[in-house]
């Protein structure tokens, strides 16, 4: 039996899937967090306890201070003897890698994880490797940003280099829209986990074509492509993920080219150990990298993969953290495609009533229907943080799961009490 240290986590799907995988693999874990209350707000598991809090131990320590975290973990390791370290939250992946390195435990190098997590460093690594990508510029300050945008030409995609879930990522058509994005980011000096942000902006040429992600497992420097997932986008000019299907309905040439591009991108950043979720646009000139995520995919994608192939990517992540080779042999599950579609808010406010299940939600091909309860605060729908619910369906005959999932949600109505207008000065 192995003992894993889990350093923070997202509070979405992976906060339940990763603890489940660790337990089913026969291991235990200690959960380290700086803010226990952040997880007490999540959905409780069996017995009314959130799965992240059901490990062998829960430790509160300052995870945003790497020196303090390393000192705490070294003391804990002397008593508990950790066998591996991991995190599912992008903001703590470099810290988890640093802890693993300090304790001499398996994991990707800190440099590789930092290159993958920082979008500007990913672009630089791709350039160094001679891999194709969009024209881009990394800027700081408004004058530099405006000048770089004029040099690249509009429209452009604006990205913060160190945020997740699509936050503040949008297409801008002119300088006035760019200024609005720049000001919005300037007013957001810390991320959702209260870490100080890097004040850099990434401007990129717009990539046209469908968006997909490649799910991979890298062991001893060799990357195995598990499959490719498609992506539906909504809320333009923002890039909100409204759904996914696995496997993506692609021709053989596109599948091969995209898989090869993912392997090359991971090699470019030096990622030699771990699960990854790498996103691409399939342009007329071939696949072009959007970003690398050096952890299992979110948004229920790992569940889509498991239902189609039988391959459990959260469990693969746990086994890799322990230095074990994961089982990546596919099984015939009888499912040919699986899809998830997300319910998005149209305006910020409060959910007045929990949306009724789509009809017929009790059909055998519908395997999940989850919604937020009435009274939930609703965001503006401009990032992947504001879903109101989702439906997941299976297709045992072909690639029809995505169409079916989208049809089910199309008839769902959502009643939101909008935020009051600010009082006039």
338: β partners:
246, 394
What's the pLDDT tens digit per position in 308-349? 999 999 999 999 999 999 999 999 999 999 999 999 988 899
Q: H/E/C letters for each residue in 162-191?
A: CCCCCCCCEEECCHHHHHHHHHHHHCCCEC
- Say whether pLDDT at 116 is over 90: yes
- Say whether pLDDT at 423 is over 60: no
pLDDT of 44 reads: 59
Tokens 């991979």 label which residue? 216
Structure tokens at 78: 């002397």
Structure tokens at 12: 């979405």
Q: Is 108 exposed, middle or buried (0-12, 13-18, 19+ CB in 10 A)?
A: buried
Mean per-residue pLDDT, 357-367: 87
What's the pLDDT tens digit per position in 80-98? 999 999 999 999 999 999 9
- Strand order of the β-sheet with 3-7 is 57-60, 28-33, 3-7, 84-86
**Residue 411 binned pLDDT confidence (cut-offs 50, 70, 90):** confident
Q: Give the global pTM.
A: 0.95
- Say whether pLDDT at 383 is over 50: yes
CA-nearest of 176, 340, 331 to 158 is: 176
pLDDT of 425 reads: 47
Residues of the chain with pLDDT > 70, as a percent, come to 97
Mean per-residue pLDDT, 7-12: 91
Rounded CA separation 115/425 (Å): 46
Mean per-residue pLDDT, 373-399: 92
Rounded CA separation 387/381 (Å): 7
What's the pLDDT tens digit per position in 151-160? 999 999 999 9
pLDDT averaged over every residue in the chain: 94
Please list, in sequence order, all residues whose beta carbon lies within 8 angstroms of the beta carbon of residue 366, skipping any fewer than 6 positions away: 360, 391, 392, 393, 408
pLDDT of 43 reads: 63
- Say whether pLDDT at 37 is over 90: no
pLDDT of 419 reads: 80
Mean per-residue pLDDT, 274-285: 98
Rounded CA separation 155/38 (Å): 38
Is the CB of residue 63 less than 8 Å from the CB of residue 7?
A: yes
**Residue 355 binned pLDDT confidence (cut-offs 50, 70, 90):** confident
Helices (H), 344-412: 401-410
Structure tokens at 408: 């089910």
pLDDT of 45 reads: 58
* Prior bond of 155 cis (ω within 30°): yes
Rounded CA separation 378/166 (Å): 17
pLDDT of 209 reads: 97
Structure tokens at 377: 């605060």
Mean per-residue pLDDT, 189-204: 96
Is the CB of residue 339 less than 8 Å from the CB of residue 230?
A: no
pLDDT of 422 reads: 59
Mean per-residue pLDDT, 34-40: 88
């Amino acid at each position: 039996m192995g003992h894993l240290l889990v350093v923070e986590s997202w509070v979405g799907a992976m906060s339940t899937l990763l603890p489940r995988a660790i337990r089913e693999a026969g291991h235990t874990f200690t959960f380290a967090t700086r803010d226990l209350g952040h997880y007490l707000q999540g959905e409780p598991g069996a017995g009314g306890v959130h799965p992240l809090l059901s490990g062998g131990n829960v430790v509160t320590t300052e995870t945003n201070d790497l020196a303090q975290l390393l000192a705490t973990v070294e003391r804990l390791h002397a008593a508990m003897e950790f066998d591996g370290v991991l995190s599912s939250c992008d903001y703590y992946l470099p810290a988890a890698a640093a802890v693993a390195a300090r304790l001499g435990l398996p994991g990707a190098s800190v440099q590789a994880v930092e290159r993958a997590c920082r979008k500007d460093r990913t672009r630089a690594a791709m350039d160094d490797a001679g891999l194709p990508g969009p024209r881009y510029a990394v800027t700081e300050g408004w004058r530099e940003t405006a000048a770089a945008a004029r040099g690249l030409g509009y429209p452009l995609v604006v990205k913060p280099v160190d945020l997740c879930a699509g936050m503040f990522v949008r297409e801008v058509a002119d300088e006035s829209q760019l200024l609005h994005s720049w000001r919005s980011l300037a007013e957001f000096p810390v991320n959702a986990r209260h870490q100080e942000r890097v004040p850099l902006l990434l401007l990129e040429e717009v990539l046209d074509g469908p968006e997909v992600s490649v799910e991979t497992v890298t062991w001893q420097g060799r990357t195995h492509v598990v499959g490719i997932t498609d992506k539906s986008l909504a809320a333009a000019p923002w890039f909100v993920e409204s759904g996914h299907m696995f496997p993506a309905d692609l021709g053989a040439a596109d599948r091969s080219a995209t898989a090869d591009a993912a392997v090359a991108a991971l090699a470019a950043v030096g990622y030699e150990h771990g699960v990854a979720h790498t996103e691409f646009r399939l342009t007329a000139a071939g696949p072009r990298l959007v970003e690398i995520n050096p952890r299992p995919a979110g948004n229920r994608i790992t569940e889509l993969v498991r239902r189609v192939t039988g391959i459990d990517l959260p469990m693969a992540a746990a086994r890799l953290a322990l230095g074990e080779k994961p089982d990546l042999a596919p099984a015939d599950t009888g499912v040919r495609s699986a899809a998830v579609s997300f319910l998005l808010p149209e305006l910020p406010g409060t959910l007045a009533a929990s949306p009724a299940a789509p009809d017929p939600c009790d059909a055998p091909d519908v395997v999940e229907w989850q919604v937020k309860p009435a009274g939930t605060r609703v965001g503006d729908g401009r990032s992947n943080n504001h879903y109101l619910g989702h439906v997941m369906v299976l297709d045992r005959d072909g690639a029809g799961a995505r169409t079916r999932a989208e049809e089910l949600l199309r008839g769902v109505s959502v009643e939101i009490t909008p935020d009051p207008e600010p009082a006039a000065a």
